[in-house]
């Protein structure tokens, strides 16, 4: 599974596509260490990498056309995590995972 490979650091990022991108993202986010984000535009792809350090991109094939999908993927893969104040959010998410995934 892509999410397991990303969580184990076999890959830095994953890209998952289904009809809407919603269900596959819900499933991926069940894996500790995964921060899957549904993006339907380049702004969201940039923001989720820069602010949330998302490591899996989900796209809805019925929602996003092929040209835009490529732009979203390029933006997601080329945007760096900003860290700083945003790292606090990631730390809180990690603490929640530790609490519930025992």
pLDDT in tens, 22-34: 999 999 999 999 9
Give the other-Cβ count within 10 Å of 88's Cβ: 10
Angle between helices 66-78 and 42-52 (to 10 degrees): 20
Burial 2-23 (b: 16+ CB within 10 A, else e): bbeebbeeeeeebebeeebbee
As annotated, the active-site residues are: 18, 51
The CB-side HSE value for 43 (13 A sphere, CA atoms) comes to 0
Rounded Cα gap, residues 63 and 46, in angstroms? 18
Give the model confidence (pLDDT) of 37-60 as tens digits: 999 999 999 999 999 999 999 999
Q: Taking 80 as the threshold, does the pLDDT of residue 3 lie above it?
A: yes
SS3 36: strand
What is residue 9's predicted lDDT score, i.e. its pLDDT? 97
Q: Taking 90 as the threshold, does the pLDDT of residue 102 lie above it?
A: no
Q: pTM for the complete prediction?
A: 0.93
Sheet of 36-38, strands arranged across: 14-18, 56-60, 36-38
Give the start-to-end residue ranges of the domains of the chain: 2-100
Span 2-100: which CATH code?
Answer: 3.40.1400.10
Give the model confidence (pLDDT) of 49-101 as tens digits: 999 999 999 999 999 999 999 999 999 999 999 999 999 999 999 999 999 88
- Nearest CA-CA partner of 34 in 60, 53, 59: 53
């Amino acid at each position: 599974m892509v999410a397991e490979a990303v969580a184990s650091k076999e890959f830095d990022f994953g890209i998952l596509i289904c009809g809407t991108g919603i269900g596959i993202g819900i499933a991926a986010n069940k894996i500790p260490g995964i921060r899957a984000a549904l993006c339907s535009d380049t702004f969201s792809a940039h923001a989720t990498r820069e602010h949330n350090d998302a490591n899996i991109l989900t796209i809805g094939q019925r929602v996003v056309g092929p040209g835009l999908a490529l732009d979203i993927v390029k933006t997601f893969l080329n945007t760096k995590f900003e860290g700083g104040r945003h790292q606090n959010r990631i730390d809180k998410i990690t603490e929640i995972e530790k609490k519930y995934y025992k």
